[in-house]
Amino acid sequence: MTSSDAPSAFGGRLLVGASGAAAVALLPVYLTALRTQFTGSITVFMTRTAATFLPPHTVGLFAERVVTGDSPATWPRDNHASLAAEHDLVTVLPTTANMLSAVAGGAAPNLLAATVLQATVPVVFFPVMGAAMWDKAAVRRNVEQVRADGYEVVDPPWGTRYDVSLGTVVEGPMPPAPPQFVETVRSHLDV
C-alpha cells in the first residue's frame, strides 16, 4: 500500500466503554489499530469487572485517560454527565449481555450504563458473548430494544475462535476484527 492508498487520518473525542468480559483483554489490540488512523482523544471507561481482566494502567498506555469510577475523589470530574458531555462518540467494546439488558431496560446499575443513558451523541455496542447466550430470546429482545431506542448494535461476526471460558475452540460469534471497529468509529467521526 502506498501512502496515497492509506486511509486518511480522522479525529474526535472518543469514549470507549469496556464492560466485564474476558474479551476485554483484547482491548489494546483495538486501541492500537485505532491509533494508526485516529488522531483524536481516547478515554476508556472500564467497569469494575473489566478492570479485573485487564489492568487499567495497561490500558493507559493506549489512551489519554482511563476511568474506573473506583475512587470517590474522581467522582466530581468522572461522572456520567461529564463523561457523556465530553465525547463525540461512545462505543462499548466488549458489550456483555448484562450491559445490553441494562440499557434496554433503561437501568443504570453502574457508571458505564449511566453514561450511555446520559449520552446525546451516537452510542455503538459491540456484543461479545458465546453462541448460546447470543441466541437466547432475552438477549435478542434486548438487542432489538436497544436498536429501537436509537443505539447501534454491531452484529458479531461468526467464525472459529478459542473460548477462554471453555478452554477449547468453538464456532460462534467472535469479537469484531480491529479494522471493523476502526471503520465503525470512522463512520461516526469522519464527517
List strand residue ranges (DSSP E) for 132-174, in order.
Answer: 152-153, 158-163, 168-173
For the entire predicted model, the pTM comes to 0.93
pLDDT digits (tens, 9 = 90+) for 7-31: 789 999 999 999 999 899 999 999 9
Mean pLDDT estimate for the chain:
93
pLDDT digits (tens, 9 = 90+) for 59-74: 999 999 999 988 778 7
Q: Is 188 a catalytic residue?
A: no
Mean pLDDT, range 123-131, rounded to an integer: 95
Q: Is the peptide bond between 94 and the residue preceding it cis, with omega within 30 degrees of 0?
A: yes
Q: How confident is the model at residue 34 (pLDDT cuts 50, 70, 90)?
A: very high
pLDDT at 136 exceeding the cut of 60: yes
- Please tell me the predicted confidence (pLDDT) of residue 47: 95
CA gap 166, 163 in Å, rounded:
5
Angle between helices 97-104 and 137-148 (to 10 degrees): 50
**Residues facing residue 43 across a β-bridge:** 15, 65
Catalytic residue among 57, 80, 87, 188: 80
pLDDT at 4 exceeding the cut of 70: no
Mean pLDDT, range 119-130, rounded to an integer: 96
Indicate the residue type of 129.
M
Q: How many residues does the chain have?
A: 191
Which phi and psi angles does 85 have, rounded to 5°?
A: -75, -25
Q: Which CATH superfamily is domain 13-189 in?
A: Flavin prenyltransferase-like (3.40.50.1950)
- Please tell me the predicted confidence (pLDDT) of residue 3: 55
pLDDT at 77 exceeding the cut of 60: yes
